[in-house]
Amino acid sequence: MGRPRGRVVRAYIGLGANVGDAPATLAAAVHALDGLAGCRVRAVSRLYATTPVGVPDQPDFRNAVVAMDVAVPDGPSPDAAASSLLVRLKDLERGFGRRQRYRWGPREVDLDLLVFGRHRISVARPEGGQSDDPAKAGLPLTVPHVEAGRRLFVLAPLEDLAPRLVPPGWGERVASAAARQRALEGAGAATPIATWDGAGWRSIG
């Protein structure tokens, strides 16, 4: 497995799926992330069953968040480093069979770059980093993820790992944002169902 050397940035990656054996896919995705050159998974949130957003007539999602250290070579800007990571995330999605579908529709797997250290980034997406969501075609890579602070399926697992984190531009802690979204969406919109044991998911209860 790749291990970060030199300058390191803590990134948070959101994982989601609701097609096929979603927990197995997300477990495999965690291991794949840990296998990326120059990267090391440091922590994995609980696995959540979450209510679909936007298109309710589909299976519930399974969501988690990974905290990952990413080696950043001297020279490249944060924009370039984040863009490079995005390309690798999209490569992994395609490797797991991600297909182009409509916005908010079913997903074999989503791997979203939520936070990249203390950097605020908005740049054109690099070749190979385009979204498979037609509604997002042409939109820039924006980090922190533009919708993360308004989605309990992101905030609940992110809170497991970094409740006191204040992502750049948010002006509030992750825990505060999660509490607000629970009040809006209802606690049942994101229910923890498993914990990560280092190899895979272990059911809660």
Q: Comparing C-alpha atoms, which of 44, 6, 10 is closest to residue 119? A: 10
98 catalytically annotated: yes
Q: How far is CA 197 from CA 17, 33, 110, 143, 192, in A?
A: 20, 16, 21, 29, 14
Catalytic residue among 107, 125, 151, 160: 107
Catalytic residue among 40, 46, 62, 112: 112
7 catalytically annotated: no
CA angle 195, 38, 154 (to 5 degrees): 35
Distance CA 6, CA 29 (A): 25
3-state secondary structure 78-145: HHHHHHHHHHHHHHHHHHCCCCCCCCCCCCCCEEEEEEECCCCEEECCCCCCCCCCHHHCCCCEEECC
Catalytic residue among 40, 79, 88, 110: 110
Catalytic residue among 46, 62, 98, 125: 98
112 catalytically annotated: yes
Kind of pairing between the strands at 61-71 and 47-50? antiparallel
110 catalytically annotated: yes
The residues assigned a catalytic role are 98, 107, 110, 112
